[in-house]
Every structure is written in structure tokens, then in C-alpha cells.
């Protein structure tokens, strides 16, 4: 095909392409995770355990922003690459334009909703009376950055789909560097505490959004973005949301579990020797640390997307299968390394986020080792879920995205503590991880066989 010959996605070695697209994506995801990790470290050193608990309470809203950004960014990117692989350039440009308009609109709407319902949201997310003031301060400021966070995160996927993974990485990197520099200045230098951490975060997000806007306006190269490309229709929106739904639902599922966890930890923690605040702060830190590991996995999955989408659209099924095999191998190696770190060095990791009582560190060590026991298989489900979305199999991608968080983990988090107390939360993690990985393996094995049959039919 002429388009496949012109586009390196259709001719370069899949392994080389995966490195080219995944490495910048991994760096971008890691840097994005730093927005929360850096805040957590500096807040832990200045405000203390209650400040860490407050960022945990506020974290679901960051997850909502990411979910919306991935819904529209990955959905637009996947449709764009599939259309380019099928040589439908005008249709492809429409998906980019539609995604841009939807990202901006949804960001503004979310900011307004959070501003109106801020107080009841913090209560619903599990804030205790001691934590509430800190949570309101932090979220009250960061909510103004939601439109910029959603736009920059979603646009980075569109930029990567255009064949510029390094610029996509730079958009996120510049914001995180600004956040990291301003955090200690505002928190300690200006003695702003939680407000300083929040202000540093949104300033970084604004700069990231400006970088992304510059690329989309002046440097988009694969196709021309004419005025009619920015028209939003229901059919275009449905197609975008269909292929972005798996990544979105995975984030929303994480948010639902986070809210349930916060409330379960508060209730059963009060019945334990640890009290409410220790489990709430510890699990918040574990989620943020695990987010670093998952950022690498998601970066691999995002690097997989444009390669798989283009080649599936061009009916090059062998290249699609080879790309998936290399991606899942890399994800598994990373997962094993993370598993060893979580099992061998939990006290050292938790110590980075500030001091605490002996009960605090005792609970943290047990929670790390039990809740993250099956980390070594945690790369399989997100990579496979994103793979199905990238080849246009939205239903399978959505179902897989819901397995770990909603279908398995959420019920276990609610049921096991009834019998095991606070320990039930810890044991819910490895059970859900193992079952989600098994579901992904069964589904993708069948898909690989189907693609082999399609290759055979092409050759005959």
C-alpha cells in the first residue's frame, strides 16, 4: 500500500518502533506521576501525615482528569492512526480536530462542577474532620488547573499519533520540571504549605498545555488540520469515545476503588490499633508509588497504540502480533523488577514520604508486601486492554479495563474486611491482580489465533 510505504509505522521493525514510541511515552508518564509524588514528598516533610492523607482524598479528581484526557486523547489517536493506515486522510484529520474541541470543553465543565460541589466531594472521598481543611485547600486551588491538565494529557496522545513521541514527552516534562522547582519554593520558601504545593502543580500544567497547543497549531505534520476538522458531530464523538473508553474506564475504576478504599480504611482503621489516619495516609502513598510502576506500563501500552492501530488498519497482522509480543515482554520484565522492590524495600520507600510512628511503619511494610504481592503480573492487563482498543476492538478493551478494579478488586475491598478487618483490604489486592491477568491472557490468546487465520487467508 502506498500509505504504508510512506509511513514508517508500516515498514520499520516493530521492535525499533516500539522503543521509539514507548520510551518517550514512559518518560512522559513517569514525569506526569511526579506531579503527585513530588507534592506528596514535600507535603509530608512540611505538613505531615494529615497533609499526605489530604492529597490521598483529593487524588480521585486527578484520576477523573486523566480518565477524560485518555478517553478523548487515546480515542482520537487510535481512530486517527487506523484511518491513516486505511488511507482515509480527511477522516483522520477530523478525529484530531474533534478530540481537541472535546478536550477543551470537558476540562472547563469539570472545573466548574468541582468548584460548585467541592465540599461534599471531599466528604464523599473519605476526608476525616482533621483532614478536611487540608483537602479543601489543596483541591480548591488545583481544580483551576483541571482544563490545562486534561488538554495537555489528551493532546500528548494526539502528538504521539502524529509521529512525534519526543515532543509529546517534552510537553509533560516541562510542566513537571516547573512543578518540581516551584514546590519547595512555595511550600518552604514562601511558607504556603498545601496551597503552595497546589499552586506549583497548576502552573506546571498551564505551561504543558501551552506547549501542546503550540504543536497542534503550528507543527502537526501527518495531515492538514483544516477548519472543518474541528466540527464535532455525534458520530465522530462516538467513534472517539468508543476507542478511548477502555483507558478511561480503567482510570474511573481506579477512582471508584480509591473512594471505596478511603472510606473502608477510615472505618476499619478506627476499629484497629492503627486508627483512621495511618491506613489512609499509608495506602495513599502506596497508590502513588505504585503509580510510578504503572506509569511505565502505561507508557509501554501507549507506545504500542500507534504501531498496532496503523498496521491493523493496513491489514499487516504479523506486525501487529509481533509488536504486542515485544510490548508484553517488556511490561513483564518491569513488573518483576517492581515486585522485588516492593517486597524487599518497603520501609525505605515509605520513609521517603516523611516520618511516622512505629505503628505507621509497621502497617506500611505489611501493606506493601501483601497488597502488592502479585505486582509481577500487573503489566499484562493494562497493555492487553490498550492493545484491543488500538486495533478497534473497543468492547474487549473496555471489559478488560474493568476486570481488575471494578469486577474483582472493588467487591473484594468491600467484602474481605468484614471477615478480616483492615487486613482484608491488603489481601484484596493480590487476588484481584491474579484474576485480571488470567482474564487478559485468555482473551488475547484467542485474538492472536484469529489474526493468524487472517494472515493465512491473505496468503492463500
The pLDDT tens digits of the residues spanning 119-141 come to 999 988 878 888 888 889 999 99
Report the distance separating Cα 33 and Cα 38, nearest Å: 9
Residues 6+ apart with CB under 8 A from 153: 32, 65, 66, 69, 70, 73, 172
386: which 3 cell numbers? 490498550
Q: What is the pTM of this model?
A: 0.74
User: Does residue 273 fall inside a structural domain?
Assistant: yes
| 113 Cβ contact partners less than 8 Å away, ≥ 6 residues apart | none
Helix-helix angle 49-85:277-313, to 10 degrees: 10
9/20 Cα distance (integer angstroms): 11
pLDDT-derived band at 35, boundaries 50, 70, 90? low
Q: Are residues 32 and 178 in the same domain?
A: yes
Q: Report d(CA 274, CA 367) in Å as an integer.
A: 12
Selection from 68, 69, 85 nearest residue 7 by Cα: 85
**Helical axes 358-371 vs 317-344, angle rounded to 10°:** 150
Same domain, yes or no, for 173 and 313?
no
Q: Are residues 284 and 195 in the same domain?
A: no
Residue 431 has pLDDT above 90, yes or no: yes
Residues 271 and 224 grouped into a single domain? no
What is the arithmetic mean of pLDDT over 280-300?
84
**Is residue 271 a part of any domain in this protein?**
yes
Q: Are residues 162 and 287 located together in one domain of the fold?
A: no
Confidence grade of residue 6 (pLDDT, cut at 50, 70, 90): low
The predicted structure's pLDDT at residue 110: 95
Q: Are residues 178 and 263 in the same domain?
A: no
Per-residue cell: 209:
498545555
Give the pLDDT band (50/70/90) at residue 444.
very high
Shared domain check, 69 and 165: yes
Q: Helix (H, G, I), strand (E, B), or coil: what is residue 7? A: coil
41 and 167 part of one domain:
yes
Does residue 38 carry a pLDDT above 80?
A: no
In this model, does residue 443 exceed pLDDT 90? yes
Tell whether 8 is covered by a domain: no
279 and 356 assigned to the same domain: yes
CA atoms of 179 and 433, how far apart (whole Å): 33
Question: Where do we find the cell 502528538?
Answer: 159
From 359, 365, 353, 380, select the one nearest 436 (Cα to Cα). 380
- Residue 41: predicted pLDDT: 76
Q: Say how many C-beta atoms besides its own lie within 10 A of residue 90's C-beta.
A: 12
Whether residue 4 lies inside any domain: the answer is: no
For residues 167 and 160, give the distance between their C-alpha atoms in angstroms, rounded to a whole number.
8
* Element at 64 (helix H, strand E): helix 49-85
List the domain range (segments joined by +) for residue 261: 246-459
* Predicted local distance difference test score (pLDDT) of residue 96: 92
299 and 180 share one domain: no
Name the helix (H) or strand (E) containing 397.
helix 394-402
- Residue at a domain's end among 168, 202, 232: 232
Residues 242-289: tens digit of each pLDDT: 888 877 887 787 778 877 888 888 888 888 878 877 887 788 788 878
Helices (H) and strands (E) in the chain, counts: 18, 0
Q: Let me know whether 337 and 432 are in one domain.
A: yes
Q: Quick one: average pLDDT of 52-76?
A: 85
Write down the pLDDT at residue 3.
44
**CA–CA gap between residue 76 and residue 92 (Å, rounded):** 9
- Is residue 17 included in any domain, yes or no? yes
Residue 76 lies in a domain: yes
What phi and psi values does residue 117 have, to the nearest 5 degrees?
Answer: -110, 30
Domain boundary among 180, 203, 232: 232
pLDDT at 237 over 80: yes
Rounded CA-CA distance 294/25 in Å is 12
Provide the grid cell at 112. Answer: 466548574
pLDDT score, position 154: 93
With a cut of 90, say whether residue 107 has pLDDT above it.
yes
Q: What is the DSSP letter of 223?
A: S
Per-chain mean pLDDT for the chain: 86
Residue 5 has pLDDT above 60, yes or no: no
183 belongs to a structural domain: yes
Does residue 71 fall inside a structural domain? yes
Of 201, 232, 263, the position where a domain reaches its end is 232
What percentage of residues in the chain have a pLDDT greater than 90?
Answer: 34
The answer to whether 289 and 343 are in contact (CB under 8 A) is no
Of 3-12, 144-153, 359-368, where does mean pLDDT reach its minimum? 3-12
* All residues at 6 or more sequence positions from 261 whose CB lies less than 8 Å from its CB, including other chains: 126, 283, 413, 425
315 and 433 co-located in one domain: yes
The total of structural domains in the chain comes to: 2
Task: Answer whether residue 202 shows pLDDT above 90.
Answer: yes
**Do 405 and 381 meet the contact criterion of CB atoms below 8 Å apart?**
no
Within a 10 A sphere around the Cβ of 254, how many other Cβ atoms?
23
Please tell me the total number of residues recorded for the chain in this structure. Answer: 460
Amino acid at each position: 500500500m502506498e500509505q504504508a510505504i510512506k509511513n514508517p509505522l508500516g515498514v520499520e521493525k516493530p521492535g525499533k518502533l516500539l522503543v521509539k514510541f514507548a520510551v518517550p511515552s514512559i518518560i512522559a508518564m513517569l514525569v506526569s506521576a511526579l506531579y503527585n509524588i513530588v507534592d506528596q514528598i514535600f507535603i509530608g516533610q512540611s505538613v505531615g501525615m494529615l497533609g499526605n492523607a489530604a492529597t490521598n482524598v483529593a487524588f480521585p479528581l486527578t484520576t477523573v482528569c486523566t480518565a477524560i484526557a485518555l478517553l478523548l486523547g487515546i480515542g482520537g489517536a487510535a481512530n486517527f492512526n487506523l484511518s491513516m493506515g486505511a488511507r482515509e486522510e480527511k477522516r483522520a484529520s477530523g478525529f484530531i480536530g474533534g478530540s481537541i474541541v472535546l478536550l477543551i470543553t470537558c476540562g472547563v465543565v469539570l472545573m466548574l462542577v468541582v468548584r460548585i460541589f467541592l465540599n461534599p466531594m471531599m466528604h464523599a472521598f473519605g476526608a476525616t474532620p482533621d483532614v478536611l481543611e487540608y483537602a479543601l485547600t489543596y483541591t480548591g486551588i488545583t481544580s483551576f488547573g483541571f482544563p490545562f491538565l486534561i488538554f495537555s494529557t489528551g493532546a500528548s496522545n494526539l502528538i504521539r499519533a502524529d509521529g512525534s513521541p519526543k515532543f509529546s514527552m517534552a510537553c509533560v516534562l516541562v510542566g513537571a520540571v516547573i512543578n518540581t522547582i516551584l514546590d519547595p519554593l512555595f511550600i518552604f520558601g514562601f511558607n504556603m504549605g498545601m496551597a503552595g504545593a497546589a499552586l506549583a502543580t497548576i502552573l506546571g500544567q498551564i505551561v504543558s498545555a501551552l506547549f501542546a497547543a503550540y504543536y497542534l497549531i503550528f507543527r502537526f505534520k501527518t495531515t492538514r488540520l483544516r477548519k472543518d476538522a474541528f466540527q464535532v458531530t455525534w458520530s465522530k464523538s462516538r467513534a472517539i469515545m468508543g476507542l478511548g473508553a477502555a483507558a478511561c474506564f480503567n482510570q474511573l475504576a481506579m477512582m471508584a476503588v480509591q473512594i471505596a478504599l478511603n472510606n473502608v480504611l477510615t472505618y476499619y482503621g478506627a476499629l484497629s490499633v492503627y486508627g483512621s489516619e495511618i491506613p489512609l495516609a499509608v495506602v495513599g502513598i502506596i497508590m502513588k508509588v505504585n503509580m510510578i510502576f504503572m506509569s511505565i506500563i502505561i507508557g509501554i501500552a501507549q507506545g504500542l497504540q500507534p504501531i498496532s492501530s496503523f498496521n491493523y488498519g493496513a491489514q499487516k497482522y504479523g506486525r501487529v502480533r509481533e509488536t504486542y509480543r515485544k510490548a508484553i515482554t517488556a511490561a513483564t520484565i518491569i513488573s518483576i523488577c517492581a515486585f522485588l522492590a516492593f517486597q524487599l524495600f518497603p520501609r525505605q520507600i515509605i520513609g521517603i514520604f516523611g516520618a511516622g510512628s512505629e505503628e505507621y511503619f509497621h502497617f506500611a511494610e505489611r501493606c506493601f508486601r501483601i497488597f502488592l504481592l502479585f505486582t509481577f503480573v500487573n503489566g499484562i492487563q493494562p497493555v492487553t486492554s490498550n492493545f484491543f482498543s488500538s486495533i478497534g476492538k473497543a468492547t474487549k478493551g473496555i471489559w478488560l479495563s474493568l476486570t481488575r478494579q471494578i469486577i474483582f478488586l472493588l467487591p473484594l475491598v468491600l467484602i474481605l474486611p468484614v471477615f478480616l478487618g483492615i487486613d482484608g483490604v491488603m489481601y484484596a489486592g493480590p487476588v484481584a491482580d491474579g484474576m485480571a491477568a488470567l482474564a487478559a491472557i485468555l482473551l488475547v490468546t484467542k485474538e492472536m489465533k484469529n489474526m493468524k487465520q487472517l494472515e493465512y487467508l491473505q496468503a492463500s
